[in-house]
Chains A and B, each alone.
Chain A
């Protein structure tokens, strides 16, 4: 038995908002692979829960009228990885969420839970940062949208007001059209492990494949929340597709990231890995875009 004070099951999104307003102390449970484990640990023991797991309306990947990809917040990692729209337009997101935990965790874990948990190591988060994802939140005052960077406030805390729940993650068409990306999770094991550091890179090449028109580099575990490496991006943007440019951009990530020492890895090690991953990620993203790096 879990130490749960009370469980309220939402039957629709408006019902979930109503339950959250009626029970201001209640916490949201989606798939539960974080929440239930934390109840077991005692961290969240004895709380009221509003379960949104039954809300099938929040599942699935679809294309909005303006071409934006809409991922329902309760879509499981395994369903995201298999979704044809994801494979076609943001393959790297499918690859990133396919590295979460193990198969059973990917069947229960949701992208909404992964982001609302507010942890820096979430495998989906760095890729969502790298693709300028928009977070859709529904609450008593209706729907609001914000860039994912504004959604993360600090470690373990996201921008959800009382009565609100995350209902979708949206990737605008301008953010994915013409881009190719690559995610590298550096961890000790291939499965059931948390990233020591994660790096998601995407690039848009010029028509002749000679110039990096746009580069986006994002990290998990390089700071208290997922982040973009803006200096490194600026260093790379508009530069020719060349080995020295890629290396210079990768080195510039050190101006952006501030990892810490933890029992998983030392700060110095994380910095070293961050540079290596940025270079490898950028090289692979360029290759996927049809570019060729000389030297």
Chain B
């Protein structure tokens, strides 16, 4: 059987794009190989580690277990989409740096995208809720506490609770 291709039209990081993709490709394959969005990491490739996490229509998905053809008509945001037009870091990215929530960096984009979904909700979550929302990611360097702090501080700052954020 000849290779099958399908035309996929979607929005990636705010830009409308079209691409012929191999039906066997994962969304990770498409984002990395066709669009050079290398923040989308290839980790376990079976949906366990969370390194390939992206937002699809505002919800987090492990792109390694998401067929690229399913992206048709969807709005996708990767870590690259969080930065400003000249590469300025977003508050959550800066918080990861400030809190030393990054060591090797491999899990970082995935974590930041889960944080992005959490922050987009625009409300305050309890510590347990934050931990649960970040639980789909494996980090073998930092021990998670710094990551948790980065997310919690950013959440509080966005809600105008700077004093509470500083006390975290």
Contact = CB atoms under 8 A, between A and B. Distances in A.
A273 to B, nearest CB: 23
A7 B4 contact: yes
Nearest to B64: A36
Interface string B3-43: 01010000000000000001111100100000000000000
A7 B6 CA distance: 10
Interface stretch (A101-109, A216-224, A251-259): A101-109
A54 B65 contact: no
Interface in B82-138: 114, 132-133, 135-137
B145 interface: no
A192 B48 contact: yes
Contacts of A105: 47, 62, 136
Q: Which of A54, A78, A102, A107 has the most CB of B within 10 A?
A: A102
A103 B114 contact: yes
A104 B46 contact: no
A7 B24 contact: yes
A4 B45 contact: no
Contacts of A101: 47, 136
Interface residues of A, number: 29
A33 B46 CA distance: 8
B60 interface: yes
Contacts of A6: 1, 4, 23
B96 to A, nearest CB: 18
Contacts of B47: 33, 36-37, 101, 104-105, 108
A105 B25 CA distance: 19
A103 B121 CA distance: 15
